Amino acid sequence: MREVKVDLTGLHFPGAPLVRGELPGPKAKELLAAQQGLESNVFKYPRVIPLVPEEARGATIRDVDGNIFLDFFAGIGVLNFGHSNPQILAAARAQEEKIIHALDFPAPPRVELMRKLKEIAPGELRGHAKVMFGGPSGSDAVEGAIKLAKLCTGRHALLAFSGSYHGQTAGALTLSSGRSYREKHLPLLPEVHFAPYPYCYRCPFKQVPQRCGLLCLNYLAELLRDPYSGLAKPAAIIVEPIQGEGGVVVPPDGFLVELRRLTAEEEIPLIVDEIQTGFGRTGRIFASEHSGITPDFMTLGKALGGVGYPLSGVVYHERWDTVEPGGHMGTFRGHLVAMAAGAAGIDFMLENDLPEHAARLGELLLAELRKLQQEVLQIGEVRGRGLFIGLELVKDRETKEPNPELVKAVQLECFERGLLVWSAGRYGNVVRIMPPLVITEELALKGLEILARALHGLTKRASR
Ligand SMILES: Cc1ncc(COP(=O)(O)O)c(C=O)c1O
């Protein structure tokens, strides 16, 4: 493995983590109470981690009371290039001085970002990509991809996978499998089906992990080919190359390759949702590159806006460009500051070879976590790629009974020691580790040490 020499040390607040006293501190308490009184009951993150951020740099966040936290969740994959990255901010500020909004007129940052996306797109999309900007959120990109697929094929049905998450707008929500998100909003889009995702730790076919001959894929092939399966031929199949919300579930080798082969044979467009996995997160610019596949449509969001600006889009092969002018509209399909930041973010990622940095650090963290797994019996599985890592926590390794309570306790314990980690998983029992890719080895290991201490402390307490 090539060692990348990048000096990312100056991007973070020095001295992290630094906890000055009891958390939340006095100013944080005041703002948390204010939020409670003012904001819709819908807010969620501060209910788990009572963080009140004031300023952030690189992989560190300073709260209103001056405590400095290590950030191991990067806004769930938004801040791949680091909080307030000065190089990207400079590009954004320069654009802000010129023009901020221009609908879809071809202002320079719009064209520049599309050119860069075309250059870095995976597989055969490289050099042949078209870009369609949606509204600002990832869900908007998913909506756009659904519309494109329906237009291109003249079909209506859609197929997604169990464990999937594709967003919260009506179409995207229909493709997201979590019952708790969906069931109060039914009916959603008609003719949407789910096939089993190869979640090998909890194999849907109860097979020995990795040695099943890709049963999930065979089952899907049956569904598609059997005229009596009840499934209408889909306009598209949407897949996360590694499931994020579903628990950082890495499919076995060959799954995406075979899925690509099957969808090509059946003439079904494949939408690869890279909203969470894109822009270096998994050790490649896009996670589909690990399998060498070419998506028909690739949805992007989160890190696309460079430094936290909301921006999303669909990148697809020019042969699918059948949408009519105005066939997908939206006032905010082009925020020029976000586009300038996105273009600068891609430059920063390439100049510093962040995917390689993520790959190297990821291997180091995975190795350390596997050692920890030998000491902490509640760690059922350690998995991931690059800086996208999941620790699946269980009550007992034999029964694999999920342990979401332990994940919540770990999050709080880590917070109190100056580390921010988020959760994931169908049962909420996965610790999701996804720091900004600019994190240094030193900071990553510091964070890991805090996580290890929290896990040791909590599991000893639990087994007493
Ligand atoms: C894979 C994937 N797709 C789509 C989305 C939806 O993006 P947004 O929350 O920006 O609407 C997410 C969000 O976490 C995601 O992880």
SS3 sequence of the chain: CCCCCCCCHHHCCCCCCECCCCCCCHHHHHHHHHHHHHCCCCCCHHHHCCCCEEEEEECEEEECCCCEEEECCHHHHCCCCCECCHHHHHHHHHHHHHCCECCCCCCHHHHHHHHHHHHHCCHHHCCCEEEEECCCCHHHHHHHHHHHHHHHHCCCCEEEECCCCCCCCHHHHHCCCCHHHHHHHCCCCCCEEEECCCCHHHCCCCCCCCCCCCHHHHHHHHHHHCCCCCCCCCCEEEECCCECCCCCECCCCCHHHHHHHHHHHCCCCEEEECCCCCCCCCCCCCHHHHCCCCCCEEEECHHHHCCCCCCCEEEEEHHHCCCCCCCCCCCCCCEHHHHHHHHHHHHHHHHCCHHHHHHHHHHHHHHHHHHHHHHCCCEEEEEEECCEEEEEEECCCCCCCECHHHHHHHHHHHHHCCEECEEECCCCCEEEECCCCCCCHHHHHHHHHHHHHHHHHHHHHHHC
How far does residue 250's CA lie from ligand 1's centre (Å)?
Answer: 17
How far does residue 18's CA lie from ligand 1's centre (Å)?
Answer: 31
Read off the CATH number of the domain in which 295 is found.
Answer: 3.40.640.10
Question: pLDDT tens, 231-242?
Answer: 999 999 999 999
Residue 80 within any structural domain of the chain = no
Atom of ligand 1 minimally distant from the CA of 310: 10
Closest-CA residue to 273 (of 414, 171, 189): 171
- Whether 258 lines ligand 1, by a CB cut-off of 6 Å, is no
- Whether 137 lines ligand 1, by a CB cut-off of 6 Å, is yes
Claim to verify: residue 342 and residue 453 sit in the same structural domain: no
Structure-token match 């919540």, residue found: 408
Closest-CA residue to 109 (of 91, 97, 126, 122): 91
Read off the CATH number of the domain in which 28 is found.
Answer: 3.90.1150.10
- Whether 392 lines ligand 1, by a CB cut-off of 6 Å, is no
Q: How many domains does the chain have?
A: 2
Question: pLDDT tens, 80-114?
Answer: 999 999 999 999 999 999 999 999 999 999 999 99
Residue 108 within any structural domain of the chain = yes
Residue 77 within any structural domain of the chain = no
pLDDT of residue 1: 46
Claim to verify: residue 346 and residue 421 sit in the same structural domain: no
pLDDT of residue 334: 83
- Which residue from 78, 275, 279, 312 has its CB within 8 A of the most atoms of ligand 1, so it is best to mutate? 275
Low-confidence ranges of the chain (pLDDT < 70): 1-6, 210, 462-464
Residue 4 within any structural domain of the chain = no
How far does residue 138's CA lie from ligand 1's centre (Å)?
Answer: 5
Residue 177 within any structural domain of the chain = yes
Claim to verify: residue 253 and residue 392 sit in the same structural domain: no
* Domain end among 293, 322, 351: 351
- Whether 176 lines ligand 1, by a CB cut-off of 6 Å, is no
Give the bridge partners for 392, in sequence order: 381, 430
User: What distance in Å separates the CA atoms of residue 113 and residue 345, rounded to the nearest whole number?
Assistant: 10
- Whether 277 lines ligand 1, by a CB cut-off of 6 Å, is no
Claim to verify: residue 145 and residue 67 sit in the same structural domain: no
- Whether 24 lines ligand 1, by a CB cut-off of 6 Å, is no
Residue 1 within any structural domain of the chain = no
- Whether 138 lines ligand 1, by a CB cut-off of 6 Å, is yes
How far does residue 66's CA lie from ligand 1's centre (Å)?
Answer: 31
* Domain end among 294, 322, 351: 351
Cis-peptide into 14, omega within 30 deg: no
User: What distance in Å separates the CA atoms of residue 437 and residue 175, rounded to the nearest whole number?
Assistant: 28
How far does residue 167's CA lie from ligand 1's centre (Å)?
Answer: 5
* Domain end among 335, 351, 367: 351
Residue 266 within any structural domain of the chain = yes
Structure-token match 């079909």, residue found: 155
- Which residue from 176, 302, 335, 432 has its CB within 8 A of the most atoms of ligand 1, so it is best to mutate? 302
- Whether 240 lines ligand 1, by a CB cut-off of 6 Å, is yes
pLDDT of residue 463: 59
Claim to verify: residue 239 and residue 206 sit in the same structural domain: yes
Report residue 79 as tokens: 């801040």
- Whether 275 lines ligand 1, by a CB cut-off of 6 Å, is yes
- Whether 177 lines ligand 1, by a CB cut-off of 6 Å, is no
Claim to verify: residue 343 and residue 367 sit in the same structural domain: no
Claim to verify: residue 180 and residue 227 sit in the same structural domain: yes
- Whether 166 lines ligand 1, by a CB cut-off of 6 Å, is yes
Claim to verify: residue 57 and residue 152 sit in the same structural domain: no
Claim to verify: residue 343 and residue 440 sit in the same structural domain: no
Claim to verify: residue 98 and residue 134 sit in the same structural domain: yes
Is the torsion defined by CA of 195, 197, 202, 203 positive or negative? positive
pLDDT of residue 200: 96
Claim to verify: residue 297 and residue 211 sit in the same structural domain: yes
Claim to verify: residue 383 and residue 408 sit in the same structural domain: yes
Residue 300 within any structural domain of the chain = yes
How far does residue 27's CA lie from ligand 1's centre (Å)?
Answer: 31
- Whether 276 lines ligand 1, by a CB cut-off of 6 Å, is yes
Nearest alpha carbon, ligand 1 atom 4: 166
Nearest alpha carbon, ligand 1 atom 3: 166
Domain that includes residue 31, residue range = 10-71+353-463
Nearest alpha carbon, ligand 1 atom 13: 167
